[in-house]
Chains A and B, each alone.
Chain A
Amino acid sequence: MSDTDLKKELQMDEAEKLLPLVLEILPGHAAEGLIDIYEPGSYTAKSLRKLCDKTLNKKNLSIEEQLIVEDIKRQLDGGKLLSRGQEIEGTALEYAVSEQTEAGEKYLYVPIRAIRPQEGGIGLILFDYGDEQ
């Protein structure tokens, strides 16, 4: 990688850190989950797991959101939080992809699935090879 490429990548990294982070925790195989938005700078120093805990412990949730949280907690009873086919470790930026709203506003998106492992046969780890969304 040339110096110019490296500089560009670093600039992009810096630019990404200035984007809001959208976290979505999906229960099981649900298509939509609980969404939380973190302002730029508010998430960089925290691990993704901490952000998830914060999201799941949010107050003032709507009734629909409360139902989703219940679903997530049911899945997490013996289950795991997975993103991009892996257990979440490290920071949100490691799992984030850049997306934009219909109005063209950019944001970073991290989909996380709360999955309870299959309770049968022998213990195996399951990786989803498809896209999260």
Chain B
Amino acid sequence: MKQLLDSDLELVVESNFIYLPLLFDPGIEKEIQSIFRPGKQIEYSAQPDLKTIIKHKGKYFVKALNLHSLFENYEAINSYDYRRLRNDCLLKYQLTGEVNGIFLDETLKIILFQVMPHFIKKNRGLTRKKLIDEEILDLINKKIDIPIIYYKNAETFQDFEPLKEILESLENETPIFKPPGNGILTGRKLRDWFHDAVQAKVLKSEHHRIAKALKVRKQFSQAKPEHIAILLYIAATGAIEIDGFGFTRNNSYKGEYFVYKRTKEYALTDYCARSYLFPECRVAVSTYSPFRPFVMEKYKHPFLLDHKSRQEICMKDFVPSNELLPKISLEL
């Protein structure tokens, strides 16, 4: 079917059915001539209005697929393509779970506005001033090279009119796509219509997500686009790093992060005053308890048992707290 929809083959859509060009060989020609003989009653299918074979501009077409059925069952017929179309649709309107989640992510807020300011240089010269959340986002914008695409996505995000219209259509139960209409069209044109229809179906199924997204967007409508771009960048990449301090999404637990600080190269001396140089590494604390510091890289050190990544640092009688914020700031 994919080949059919990707082709320039002329198809006919009639009463919600796709008609394909009839193969032509002497046997078929003979049958056709008998069907279309003047005075002969044409054989109808179960549905009285639908002919099995139709003639359009001198060409014969045979009934093949029910467009409605194809559309309704596409998720089962071609789940891979359906998922792709769904993702494209959600991305187009910035509706992915990551985007919606990031604006309401309380853990991320703690990391960005309470933990990170402790570890990055916020002020120039000798000024020491506590920054408000907007100023911290300005600082991140200065320190991180955010690709231009996220600024464009921020514009899409802040323009909530298209979503508002979709939501209104859904709530008024007005169809959000038009059927293709009867007549001849190419495979590619049918494909374009089909994709639009599937995306409309996706939007319909995401009614609640759209309503929630719209609420968030109205809330952030006055935010600076560059601030939105930062959050979209974090939603997409799950990580940022500034001045050796950073965080990265913990893919094992939704909404959780590893917050880390890079050590520089350092040396340890033993009791004979011999120095041992150690390479830099990232010491992290997960926002998912227990809040025990560990080394992210494969690393060897007297405080680590093995030579592998993600080893907890031996900390004698250390008892991790149940609170996220002070633990990250103090232990890193």
Contacts and interface: CB of A to CB of B under 8 A. Distances in A.
Interface stretch (A5-13, A38-46, A50-58, A115-123): A115-123
A127 B267 contact: yes
Contact of B126 (A35, A121, A128, A133): A35
B125 interface: yes
A31 to B, nearest CB: 4
Contact of A102 (B125, B267, B330): B125
A127 B313 CA distance: 18
A30 B269 contact: no
Interface residues of B, number: 33
A119 B316 contact: yes
Contacts of B104: none
A29 interface: yes
A43 B32 CA distance: 108
Given A31-B119, A74-B330, A128-B264, A120 B126 contact: no
Contact of B302 (A28, A64, A124): A124
B102 to A, nearest CB: 25
Given A119-B317, A120-B313, A129-B264, A32 B270 contact: no
A125 B267 CA distance: 8
Measured as residues with beta carbon below 8 angstroms from the partner, the interface class of chain A is 20 to 34
Contact of A64 (B130, B270, B318): B130
Contacts of A126: 266-268
Interface in A25-77: 28-32, 35, 37, 64-65, 71, 74
Contacts of B275: 127
A120 B316 contact: yes
A28 B317 CA distance: 20
Contacts of B119: 29-31
Interface in B279-329: 302-303, 313-318
A4 interface: no
Contacts of B128: 32, 35, 64-65
Contacts of B268: 124-127
A22 interface: yes
Contacts of B125: 101-102
B260 to A, nearest CB: 11
A65 B125 CA distance: 17
B243 A31 contact: yes
A64 B128 CA distance: 9
A31 B117 CA distance: 8
B56 interface: no
Interface string A95-107: 0000001100000
Given A126-B266, A129-B267, A120 B315 contact: yes
Query: Most chain-A Cβ atoms within 10 A of its Cβ — which of B122, B125, B245?
Result: B125
B121 A32 contact: yes
A56 B118 CA distance: 19
B25 interface: no
Contact of B303 (A30, A31, A120, A127): A120
Contacts of A32: 121-123, 128
A30 B126 CA distance: 15
Contacts of B332: 28-29
Nearest to A100: B125
B330 A128 contact: no
A130 B313 contact: no
19 contacts: A29-B119, A29-B332, A31-B120, A31-B245, A32-B123, A35-B126, A65-B128, A101-B125, A102-B124, A102-B125, A122-B302, A124-B302, A125-B268, A125-B269, A127-B266, A127-B269, A127-B275, A129-B265, A133-B121
Interface of B: 118-126, 128, 130, 243, 245, 261, 264-270, 275, 277, 302-303, 313-318, 330, 332
